[in-house]
Amino acid sequence: MPERALNATAASLLGFLHSGPSSGWDLLATAREVIGPFWSITQSQVYRELAAMERAGLITAQQSGRRDRRPYELTSAGQAAFTVWLAQEPAPEQIRFPLLLTMSFGAHLPPETLAAFVESHRHTHAQRLAEYERTREAMTEAVPAGMGDAYGLATLDFGIRYERAVLEWFEHLPARMTRG
């Protein structure tokens, strides 16, 4: 067994498999919903990591159910690998923000073009914030007093604070950059 360390994407799949067997399709949906705001994942990647983890003995495919869905189940080796991964100090975050790159070179761009980009992004972020806030309400209403999913709430709150910060940044941008 090569035993090379898990990557974060594979590890998150193992994490989701703790709540029971699940197929690639469902794992993708779960990932998009739960960690989507701060961890992007593509469908191809999910199948690739599942195949690799099956080869490594971290998961096993169950009998195909309806429609060829192929639910994978965590093995004890998979559990162990996940636990090891989870206890590693997480690496610093990476942000890749193409709008900022474009803005860095704003001097080479007609002001109205940059302003249009900014406006379009502002709109997207406003929508995302609203969506996160709706999700948060749903989460806290569902479990009025208890601690429900405190960890999910905490990561959602990151998203909310992030989107608010972005929107405030847009609002304080020099007029030239927002109104051409």
Partner DNA sequence: TGGTACATGTAACATGTTACATGATTAG
Partner DNA sequence: CTAATCATGTAACATGTTACATGTACCA
Which partner in DNA, a copy of itself, none is near 141 (CB below 5 to 8 A by kind)?
none
**23 sits near DNA (criterion: CB under 7 A):** yes
Which partner in a copy of itself, DNA, none is near 41 (CB below 5 to 8 A by kind)?
DNA
13-32: buried (b, 16+ CB within 10 Å) or exposed (e) per residue? bbbbbeeebbbbeebbebbe
What lies within 8 Å, CB to CB, of 111 at 6+ separation is 176, 177, 180
Encoded one letter per residue, x for contact with DNA by CB under 7 A and - for no contact, window 90-109 reads ----x-x-------------
3-class DSSP string for 6-62: CCHHHHHHHHHHCCCCECHHHHHHHHHHHCHHHCCCCHHHHHHHHHHHHHCCCEEEC
**122 sits near DNA (criterion: CB under 7 A):** no
Which partner in DNA, a copy of itself, none is near 171 (CB below 5 to 8 A by kind)?
none
Instruction: Name the phi and psi angles at 89, rounded to 5.
Output: -60, 125
> Residues 25, 11, 151, 69: what is their CA dihedral angle, to the nearest 10 degrees?
20
CB 121 within 8 A of CB 99: yes
Range in contact with DNA (rule: CB under 7 A) among 13-21, 41-49, 73-81, 116-124: 41-49
**69 sits near DNA (criterion: CB under 7 A):** yes
Q: Give the Cα separation of 112 and 114 in Å (integer).
A: 5
Which partner in a copy of itself, DNA, none is near 106 (CB below 5 to 8 A by kind)?
a copy of itself
Maximum CA extent, the chain:
61
The contact set with a copy of itself (CB under 8 A) reads 8, 11-12, 15, 18, 34-35, 37-40, 82-83, 86-87, 89-109, 113, 117, 120-121, 124, 150-152, 154-155, 157-158, 161-162, 164-166, 168-169, 172-174, 176-177
**32 sits near DNA (criterion: CB under 7 A):** no
**Interface with DNA (CB under 7 A):** 4, 7-10, 23-26, 40-45, 47-48, 50-51, 66-71, 94, 96
